[in-house]
């Protein structure tokens, strides 16, 4: 029975891990050097200080002051109830004065212990051999200059080349690549995948891991415009790993409880963390200036804090105090700014913000330069219920969509306040509308914008139930001579709710997203007949995609993709790609289709004059490409034909073999002749078969 | 594939648009309205009659050329799952959820003989020489799914042997469908697990098996006319052609909806697939998402060439005219739809001159 009584192995297996006792012991340093006689008095004073300043109640027997020659040495051991109490004590009282002459220097005993164990000799770290890195922009070297797109279905991620005449070609396939969604960096260099432990950036021809950022339970990510930095957010505040565990954690005590982190993409290092304010959080929460030199954080109603990057210090050590501020946005970095910057005369960064009406003070939109903090232009507005800032992507114009109410507050209407930012004194034009604007979009690189407007029905009482409010789509253009915005065309009686401008301008798609009954996409050309010098706005195509949830133009503006993601609904998920006129190129329904993304392209490196030259000689260039396309097309169809021919031959051969076998079987059964009646029936079968060949 | 579909829209499948709303006709006869077609059989020689069975306990026979009802066979007391008619259109067998198998006179509509089994009969089929019938019974109430072969006395049809000549319970997953092959004493079975197998029913032994034929339950199995290959359709959304001899997969047709039935169209290089979202999920979605169309696939190139819309419930069964002139589909919506192919269906060559030899 002896071996049965021996439970030591089970005890060992289930033994409760004793928390490191040293964790709850702290060393109070910088204390007065006193004799044993004064000990009770010191303890009393300490107890009072700990209780009042740190809220930690202790008894005399928790102190231990080692005595040397009957005197203390200026430090006291204090055993606390647990390690959390120790942590609070350090947080509250470390570097805090005890009396006029003495200041607390508090450390956990475990820390001191760990320094004791440090080796005295210096070990030179081994220098890692240089490993060549993948070319992160290798996809731009595609011989045919094709764009890539990424599709995410079930657990599979595919990176495809978009072929004009053929089905997409899969460049890379990855299984179980991300825990939630996938994001490209703004210039397409990196692909970010989210995992429980953090974010991984992938790049290069094989999409290998480039960098990883340990932010547990990350939920949202955002790249800076030039993709040098990176912001992550988790809904769970950062918790430091327990001391002693081996997990690598980039966070320090200062980061505890924060939930936003800013990282350097190239080094993978953490730059700084921020807390988020409770309540609704707009994303991106931290906004980058166009040149990536600053990052701004809004504290609604109070201030905008702007930090310089990468040192992440608050610029001039003070925030912009703007009582009531609702929203702000930086002016984007246009091509012109890049040229100016290369010449060395970069304009200062600019930001726009607005404050609502408070008592007798009107609502106000302000343009401010930064870091000089000079107000460039501000405009007062009245009867404002809401406003929305929209910058044109080149940073030429700012449109403030102002929802205003009539004096009775019974109905709403909208004004568009448009700031021309590149002109002297920042002139403001106002477009007054009777309706409310539900959607606003600038033409990228253009001087036009499109809006969807509909009458305000929030207070209408005589609305028949089930009546759908029809919207109108209007296009406006800057009139350079007059300096105001002129209405080009209004399309009435539309039920669309989104406008997607082609990234190259000129073309738009009008669509209805999130509707069960409407799912057509209208393609419009704003410069129809431009070659014949009679420009007009004309519809050039219409396509359908059931249950469309996302619409994207490819970076070249030649192709349009629509997708239906299973994240929104489970009906006919998949994607389709059309050309600019609505000719369908590919359409796939895939179960559990989640995400469709075009891979963005970096800005062109060709200077303006070279671009002009290409545009001028476009016909000559396109001829060679058309020849290539034609050759490829005939190639492919020839390939397909041979493949089909092989299939037919294989089928015919198999059928022949089947027939022979069947005939053989009949013969055999006839020979064996064990059942006369069945033999007759078999003969009948064969006759029937020969009959079949005739029609 | 994309081009194929576009070209097909000019191919006008809807020949006479022989859509006959048979449910309304039966209603005018004063019968109940809940008439879910669960099985179809087209008489083998001429294709002039269509036998339909449904959850309303009744077997109907219709003229295939105009959809007029010729008559009914009444006597079952449960959903009739399956029906089969002999080559000379003399005798009809039907299997029902009332656990009975009935032999009928096609001409007079009288029930000649009734067999009773412990569980429902899910599939019946006449043998090639019309002397035997095969019956597949459901696995339920402690009874395993079983295969029975019954010898039919055609001389005195009301005098039948009460006991099957052969009875056996294939081991493993339940048999959902079975069919005779051209070989003596041989039949193929399709199983709930997605397996297909061949049995010698005299020895009651499995002679060949393809365990991973499908990923989910096989709902239908139909032989080609010469029985050298057969088509299966499964809940796993895939239909496959198998070589009867080797049970190897010859062709695969992957669709986007669960399939209940598949049929090989003689005289053309196509197969017809039907299915759709399962009946229990139908109410949660519209007809558009239900995928209740009959799909035509090219059987050699494994590409879809066209769809025929019309049903507003899942398609339970498909049967093609023995000479390939028409096809009929029976749906959970209670309609049997008959489409006659027009000339362009036979003339149009979707893939140019590349066509396989036809059966």
A654/B289 Cβ within 8 A: no
B180 CB-side CA count, 13 A: 23
Whole-number Cα distances in Å, A4 to A8, A11, A15, A171 = 10, 13, 19, 63
* A668 neighbourhood in chain B, CB within 8 Å: none
Q: How confident is residue B262, by pLDDT bands cut at 50, 70 and 90?
A: very high
Contacts with A, B 219-248, CB within 8 Å: 225-229, 243, 245
Which listed CATH number (3.40.605.10, 2.130.10.10, 2.40.50.140, 3.20.20.70) goes with B1-44+255-352? 2.130.10.10
A658/B245 Cβ within 8 A: yes
Taking the CA atoms of B338, B344, B349 and B350 in sequence, report the sign of the dihedral they define.
negative
Please, are residues A542 and A582 in contact by the beta-carbon 8 Å criterion?
A: yes
Treating both helix axes as pointing N-terminal to C-terminal, what angle do A676-693 and A618-672 enclose, rounded to 10 degrees?
A: 160
Query: In this model, does residue A589 exceed pLDDT 90?
Result: no
Query: In this model, does residue B196 exceed pLDDT 90?
Result: yes
Query: In this model, does residue A600 exceed pLDDT 90?
Result: yes
* A640 neighbourhood in chain B, CB within 8 Å: none
Query: In this model, does residue A679 exceed pLDDT 60?
Result: no
Please, are residues A403 and A394 in contact by the beta-carbon 8 Å criterion?
A: no
What kind and span of H or E run contains A355?
strand A349-355
A689/B228 Cβ within 8 A: no
A676 lies within 8 A of chain B by CB: no
Query: In this model, does residue B12 exceed pLDDT 50?
Result: no
> What stretches of A25-146 adopt beta strand conformation (E)?
25-29, 63-64, 75-79, 105-108
Residue A651 is nearest to which of B129, B267, B300, comparing CB atoms?
B300
What is the rounded average pLDDT of the residues B58-72? 85
Buried b (16+ CB within 10 A) or exposed e, B232-244: bbbbbbbbbbbbb
A572/B359 Cβ within 8 A: no
Query: In this model, does residue A193 exceed pLDDT 90?
Result: yes
B250 lies within 8 A of chain A by CB: yes
How far is Cα A611 from Cα A371, in angstroms, rounded to an integer?
A: 34
Cis peptide before A310 (omega within 30 of 0): yes
The predicted complex's ipTM stands at 0.82
User: What are phi and psi for residue A97, nearest 5 degrees?
Assistant: -65, 140
Closest Cα in chain B, distance from residue A690 (Å)? 9
A669/B300 Cβ within 8 A: no
User: What are phi and psi for residue A597, nearest 5 degrees?
Assistant: -140, 130
How far is Cα B238 from Cα B219, in angstroms, rounded to an integer?
A: 11
Largest CA distance in chain B: 59
How far is Cα B324 from Cα B314, in angstroms, rounded to an integer?
A: 23
pLDDT number for residue B238: 93
Sequence-distant (≥ 6) Cβ neighbours of residue A73 within 8 angstroms:
A33, A66
Closest Cα in chain A, distance from residue B341 (Å)? 14
Q: Which of A513-522, A609-618, B215-224 has the lowest mean pLDDT?
A: A513-522
B359 lies within 8 A of chain A by CB: yes
Q: What is the secondary structure of A17-45 as a DSSP string?
A: ----GGGGEEEEES----BGGGHHHHHHH
pTM score above 0.90: no
Contacts with A, B 179-208, CB within 8 Å: 182-184
How far is Cα A417 from Cα A514, in angstroms, rounded to an integer?
A: 29
Among A290, A316, A303, which residue's Cα sits nearest to residue A372?
A: A316
What is the rounded average pLDDT of the residues A214-242? 88
Residue A695 is nearest to which of B229, B267, B355, comparing CB atoms?
B267
User: What are phi and psi for residue A386, nearest 5 degrees?
Assistant: -160, 160
How far is Cα B161 from Cα B164, in angstroms, rounded to an integer?
A: 7
- As a whole-number percent, the residues of chain A with pLDDT over 90 amount to 24
Q: How confident is residue B11, by pLDDT bands cut at 50, 70 and 90?
A: very low
| pLDDT, tens digit (0-9, with 9 covering 90-100), for A387-420 | 999 999 998 999 999 988 887 777 888 999 999 9
Closest Cα in chain A, distance from residue B168 (Å)? 24
| pLDDT, tens digit (0-9, with 9 covering 90-100), for B111-124 | 999 999 999 999 99
* A584 neighbourhood in chain B, CB within 8 Å: 2
* B225 neighbourhood in chain A, CB within 8 Å: 688-689, 692
Structure tokens at B135: 């019956």
Please, are residues B220 and B233 in contact by the beta-carbon 8 Å criterion?
A: yes
What is the rounded average pLDDT of the residues A465-476? 80
| Conformation bin of residue B17: beta by default, left when phi > 0, alpha when psi is -120 to 50 | left
User: What are phi and psi for residue B255, nearest 5 degrees?
Assistant: -115, -170
The single residue listed with the structure tokens 């009744």 is B58
Q: How confident is residue B35, by pLDDT bands cut at 50, 70 and 90?
A: very low
How far is Cα B229 from Cα B271, in angstroms, rounded to an integer?
A: 13
**Three-state DSSP state, B169:** coil
Q: How confident is residue A549, by pLDDT bands cut at 50, 70 and 90?
A: very high
Closest Cα in chain A, distance from residue B138 (Å)? 31
Among A482, A290, A487, which residue's Cα sits nearest to residue A369?
A: A290
Among A117, A93, A121, which residue's Cα sits nearest to residue A107?
A: A93
B354/A648 Cβ within 8 A: yes
B287 lies within 8 A of chain A by CB: no
Please, are residues A297 and A262 in contact by the beta-carbon 8 Å criterion?
A: no
Structure tokens at B72: 């009914």
Q: How confident is residue A186, by pLDDT bands cut at 50, 70 and 90?
A: very high
Query: In this model, does residue A675 exceed pLDDT 60?
Result: no
| pLDDT, tens digit (0-9, with 9 covering 90-100), for A481-504 | 887 888 988 998 888 889 999 998
Q: Which residue has the higher pLDDT, A608 or B12?
A: A608
How far is Cα A105 from Cα A102, in angstroms, rounded to an integer?
A: 9
Query: In this model, does residue A280 exceed pLDDT 80?
Result: no
**Three-state DSSP state, B288:** helix
A689/B226 Cβ within 8 A: yes
A651/B243 Cβ within 8 A: no
Q: Which of B227, B244, B277, B359 is the mutation pick for testing A, counting most A CBs within 10 A? A: B359
Search chain A and give the residue with CA nearest B356.
A648
């Amino acid at each position: 029975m002896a071996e049965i009584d021996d439970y030591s192995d089970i005890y060992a297996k289930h033994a409760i891990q004793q928390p490191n006792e040293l964790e709850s012991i702290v060393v109070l340093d910088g204390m007065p050097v006193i004799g044993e006689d004064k000990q009770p008095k010191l303890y009393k004073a300490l107890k009072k200080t700990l209780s009042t300043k740190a809220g930690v109640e202790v008894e005399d027997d928790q102190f231990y002051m080692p005595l040397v020659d009957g005197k203390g040495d200026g430090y006291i051991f204090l055993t606390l109830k647990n390690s959390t109490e120790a942590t609070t004590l350090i947080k509250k009282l470390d570097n805090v004065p005890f009396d006029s002459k003495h200041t607390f220097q508090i450390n956990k005993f475990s820390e001191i212990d760990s320094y004791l164990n440090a080796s005295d000799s210096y070990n030179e770290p081994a220098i890692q051999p240089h490993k060549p890195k993948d070319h992160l922009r290798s996809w731009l070297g595609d011989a045919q200059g094709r764009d890539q797109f990424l599709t995410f279905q079930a657990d599979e991620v595919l990176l495809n080349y978009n072929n004009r005449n053929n089905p997409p070609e899969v460049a890379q396939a990855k299984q179980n690549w991300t825990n939630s969604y996938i994001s490209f960096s703004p210039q397409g260099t990196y692909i970010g995948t989210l995992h429980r432990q953090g974010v991984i950036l992938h790049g290069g021809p094989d999409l290998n891991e480039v960098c990883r950022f340990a932010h547990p339970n990350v939920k949202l990510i955002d790249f800076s415009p030039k993709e040098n930095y990176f912001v992550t957010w988790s809904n769970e505040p950062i918790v430091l790993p327990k001391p002693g565990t081996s997990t690598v954690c980039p966070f320090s005590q200062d980061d505890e409880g924060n939930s936003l982190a800013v990282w350097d993409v190239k080094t993978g290092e953490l730059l700084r963390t921020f807390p988020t304010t409770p309540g609704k959080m707009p994303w991106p929460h931290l906004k980058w200036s166009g040149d990536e030199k600053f990052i701004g954080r809004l504290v609604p109603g109070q201030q905008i804090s702007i930090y310089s990057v990468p040192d992440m210090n608050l610029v001039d050590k003070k925030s912009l105090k703007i009582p009531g501020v609702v929203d702000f946005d930086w002016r984007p970095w246009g091509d012109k700014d890049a040229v100016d910057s290369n010449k060395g005369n970069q304009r200062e960064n600019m930001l726009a913000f607005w404050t609502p009406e408070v008592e007798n003070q009107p609502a106000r939109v302000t343009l401010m330069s930064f870091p000089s903090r000079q107000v460039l232009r501000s405009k007062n507005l009245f009867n404002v219920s809401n406003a929305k800032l929209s910058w044109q992507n080149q940073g030429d114009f700012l449109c403030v969509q102002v929802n205003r109410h009539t004096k009775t507050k019974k109905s709403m209407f909208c004004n568009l306040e448009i700031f021309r930012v590149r002109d002297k004194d920042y002139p403001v034009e106002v477009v007054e509308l009777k309706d409310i604007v539900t959607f606003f979009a600038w033409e990228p690189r253009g001087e036009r914008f499109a809006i969807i407007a509909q009458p305000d029905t929030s207070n209408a009482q005589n609305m028949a139930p089930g009546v759908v409010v029809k919207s109108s789509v209007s296009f406006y253009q800057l009139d350079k001579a007059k300096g105001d915005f002129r209405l080009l065309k209004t399309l009435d009686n539309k039920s669309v709710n989104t406008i997607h401008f082609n990234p190259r301008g000129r073309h738009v798609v009008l669509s209805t997203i999130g509707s069960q009954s409407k799912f057509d996409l209208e393609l419009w050309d704003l410069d129809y007949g431009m070659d014949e010098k009679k420009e007009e706005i004309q519809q050039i195509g219409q396509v359908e995609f059931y249950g469309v949830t996302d619409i994207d133009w490819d970076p070249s503006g030649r192709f349009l993709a629509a997708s239906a993601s299973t994240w929104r609904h489970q009906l006919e998920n998949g994607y389709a790609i059309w050309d600019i006129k609505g000719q369908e190129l590919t359409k796939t329904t895939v179960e559990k289709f989640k995400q469709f993304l075009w891979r963005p392209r970096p800005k062109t490196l060709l200077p303006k004059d070279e671009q002009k030259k290409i545009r001028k000689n476009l016909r000559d260039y396109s001829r060679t490409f058309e020849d290539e396309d034609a050759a490829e097309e005939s190639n492919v169809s020839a390939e397909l034909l041979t493949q089909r021919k092989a299939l037919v031959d294989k089928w015919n051969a198999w059928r022949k073999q089947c027939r022979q076998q069947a005939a053989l079987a009949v013969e055999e059964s006839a020979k064996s002749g064990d059942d006369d009646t069945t033999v007759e029936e078999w003969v009948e079968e064969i006759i029937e078969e020969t009959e079949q060949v005739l029609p | 594939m994309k081009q194929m579909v576009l070209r097909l829209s000019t191919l006008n499948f809807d020949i006479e648009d022989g859509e006959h709303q048979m449910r309304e006709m039966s209603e005018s006869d004063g019968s109940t309205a809940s008439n879910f077609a669960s099985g179809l059989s087209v008489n083998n020689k001429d294709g002039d009659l269509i036998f339909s069975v449904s959850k309303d306990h009744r077997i109907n026979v219709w003229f295939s050329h105009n959809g007029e009802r010729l008559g009914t066979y009444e006597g079952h007391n449960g959903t009739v799952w399956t029906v089969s008619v002999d080559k000379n259109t003399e005798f009809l067998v039907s299997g029902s959820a009332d656990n009975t198998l009935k032999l009928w006179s096609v001409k007079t509509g009288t029930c000649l003989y009734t067999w009773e089994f412990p569980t429902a009969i899910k599939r019946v089929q006449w043998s090639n020489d019309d002397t035997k019938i095969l019956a597949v019974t459901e696995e339920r109430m402690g009874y395993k799914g079983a295969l029975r072969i019954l010898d039919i006395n055609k001389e005195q049809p009301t005098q039948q042997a009460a006991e099957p000549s052969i009875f056996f319970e294939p081991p493993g997953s339940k048999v959902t469908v079975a069919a005779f092959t051209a070989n003596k004493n041989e039949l193929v079975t399709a199983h709930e697990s997605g397996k297909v197998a061949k049995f010698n029913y005299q020895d009651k032994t499995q002679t060949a098996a393809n365990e991973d034929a499908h990923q989910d339950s096989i709902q239908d199995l139909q032989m080609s006319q010469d029985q050298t290959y057969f088509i299966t359709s499964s809940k796993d959304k895939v239909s496959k052609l198998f070589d009867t001899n080797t049970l190897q997969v010859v062709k695969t047709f992957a669709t986007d909806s669960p399939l209940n039935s598949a049929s090989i169209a003689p005289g053309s290089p196509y197969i017809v697939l039907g299915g759709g979202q399962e009946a229990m999920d139908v109410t949660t979605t519209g007809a558009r998402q239900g995928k209740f169309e009959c799909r035509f696939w090219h059987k050699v190139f494994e590409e879809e060439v066209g769809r025929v819309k019309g049903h507003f419930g899942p398609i339970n069964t498909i049967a093609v005219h023995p000479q390939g002139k028409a096809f009929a589909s029976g749906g959970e919506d209670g309609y049997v739809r008959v489409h006659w192919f027009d000339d362009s269906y036979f003339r149009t060559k979707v893939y140019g001159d590349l066509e396989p030899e036809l059966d």
